[in-house]
Amino acid sequence: MTVMIRRLADGFAVLGGVILLIIVAVTTTNTSAFILDRIAGMFGRNVAGLPGYEDFVQLAISGVALMFFPYCQAQRGHVAVELFVDRLPQRMQRGLDRLWLILTAGIALFLAYWMVFGLLEARSDGAVTSVLGWPVWPFYSPGLASMILWALVAISQISGQISGAPQDA
């Protein structure tokens, strides 16, 4: 199961990277259209930008931003202050590490819990984007799944099933 969790975290990061590339491509296209429109304007012409560009970017980035958290946790890539902890005995370091992993898992599950309510509220309100008219609630799903996976990675690290403990680095 832990290998599956680790691969899932890797997969989320890769998918997040692909979505970021799409966001960059759409942004580049829209920016190019803006520049071309300025140039074409000198000749009495116009070049339209992408309709709903802002809607797409807003929805895509809201989900993709959280997709990197599980991978970052699996890599122990979060900020850690080790100025005085390095001087503590190994047993105490491991205890503090477990405490922070428990806290991290708890926070991730807490955020997932509230995201469920946000998703349900957006769905019941019929919230849609202003230009494209896309429903907002499905775009909660990647973030919700990411929070749950983030918690699973931290829980696996507590039990020592996923490597990446500070002493392993």
Please tell me the predicted confidence (pLDDT) of residue 39: 86
pTM to 2 decimals?
0.82
Could you report the per-residue pLDDT of 42-88, keeping only the tens digit for each?
Answer: 888 888 878 888 999 999 998 899 999 999 999 987 666 666 777 88
pLDDT bracket for residue 169 (50, 70, 90): very low
Q: Which residue has the tokens 């405490």?
A: 99
Is pLDDT at 167 greater than 60 in this prediction? Answer: no
d(CA 166, CA 169): 5
Please tell me the predicted confidence (pLDDT) of residue 168: 44
Q: Could you state, in order of their start, the residue ranges of all structural domains in the chain?
A: 2-168
- Mean pLDDT on 18-23: 96
Backbone conformation region of residue 129, classed left if phi is above 0, alpha if psi is from -120 to 50, else beta:
beta
pLDDT bracket for residue 165 (50, 70, 90): very low
Could you report the per-residue pLDDT of 77-110, keeping only the tens digit for each?
Answer: 766 666 677 788 889 888 888 999 999 999 999 9
Q: Where are the alpha helices (DSSP H) in 65-136?
A: 69-74, 90-125
Please tell me the predicted confidence (pLDDT) of residue 150: 96
Nearest to 142, CA basis, from 29, 15, 37, 33? 15
Please tell me the predicted confidence (pLDDT) of residue 137: 95
Nearest to 68, CA basis, from 143, 160, 167? 143
Could you report the per-residue pLDDT of 119-141, keeping only the tens digit for each?
Answer: 999 999 999 999 999 999 999 99
Please tell me the predicted confidence (pLDDT) of residue 96: 87
Q: Which two tokens stand for residue 16?
A: 């997040």
